Structure 1
Amino acid sequence: MKKVILIPLIATGALFGCQDTNQSQAKDKTTLEHEMQKPIWAGSYSGTTPCLGCSSRCEDCPGMAVDLVLKANQSYELRRESLSGHNEVEVLKGQFKFKDTDDTQLELLNVKTRNMIFVDLENQLLEIRMDQTAQPYAVQDDFLLELS
């Protein structure tokens, strides 16, 4: 005589639930691994700087809003907008390269002005430096972009 084994539907549902949980955990693990591989300098930075023609803030000039996204694949997106409304919004995209082995000085390729950046990882800031020389501006605080 053959014995019949009955499997309740509730148990079957629980088994499928375990599979969903395992898939969810695998996705969470993948996301976590991706986050761990992301360089600490990667992210979105923003701030207000003097206009392109000035080396410090002027009383009668509101300056310009700057948004810079640094991506893990060493590409960037730079958005600059004159707060006086005199110029069009400028959006530049491209690659950047590090100028030192410590990954603290980078150059935005294909950007003609204000393309030298100092990365301050400790304070999560970027400091825009003078073109060509990468020396700090006299009023460094006017050229800071904060991690957003």
Structure 2
Amino acid sequence: MKKAILIPLVATGALLGCQDASQTQSKDPVANEQNVQAPVWVGTYSGTTPCMGCFSRCEDCPGMAVDLVLKQNLTYELRRESLSGHDVEVLKGRIHFKDQAQTQLELLNVKTRNLIYVDLEHQMLEIREDQTAQSYAAQDDFLLEFGKV
């Protein structure tokens, strides 16, 4: 008569569990980064605002086009173009959040109009007054709409 050999299932399950875990982790760092969901504020925002010297739209001045890209690695690229002339300013730098909810941010390396409020519900950015971070009186003139990443 043949003797039965018993293999403990607990040990076998533990070995298989270790093997499965090593197979599910990707060795490709780009693939791992893509699996991480981007924060909701990441994206491209654009609009037209009053020129740098104005606090609201003027009849004589078409203002300036603003494109702002907020990146997941806490950096930005800001492009401001005067619509009355052909002055173009491109600024890059880091983002600093001023609150835990990540709705108030500062664009580092930008001297004016660097304080921003992120309206996550409406997917918009509001440029705020320098130093006080209060809304401009003509608040609607300082909104940037969300676009594609």
The normalised TM-score by structure 1 is 0.76
> How many residue pairs align between the two structures?
119
Q: CA deviation at 1:37?
A: 1.7
The CA deviation string for residues 60-100 of structure 1, in whole angstroms up to 9 with x for no partner, is: 10000000000001000000000001x52000000011001
Aligned to 2:49: 49
Identical columns (%): 72
Q: Report 1:84-103 matches (<5 A).
A: 84-85=84-85, 88-103=87-102
Q: 1:103 to 1:65 in 2, by over 3 A?
A: same
Q: CA deviation at 1:34?
A: 2.1
- Aligned AA (2:50): P
Unaligned runs of 5+ in 2: 1-25
CA RMSD of aligned residues (A): 1.8
Q: Report 1:105-120 matches (<5 A).
A: 105-120=104-119
The CA deviation string for residues 95-120 of structure 1, in whole angstroms up to 9 with x for no partner, is: 01100111100000010000000000
SS in 2 for 1:91: strand
| CA distance in 2 between partners of 1:95 and 1:51 (Å) | 24
Q: Report 1:1-148 matches (<5 A).
A: 34=34, 36-85=36-85, 88-148=87-147
| CA distance in 2 between partners of 1:84 and 1:72 (Å) | 33
| CA distance in 1 between partners of 2:32 and 2:135 (Å) | 36
SS in 1 for 2:140: helix
Unaligned runs of 5+ in 1: 1-25
Q: CA deviation at 1:142?
A: 0.1
SS in 1 for 2:79: strand
Q: 1:36 to 1:124 in 2, by over 3 A?
A: farther
| CA distance in 2 between partners of 1:94 and 1:33 (Å) | 21
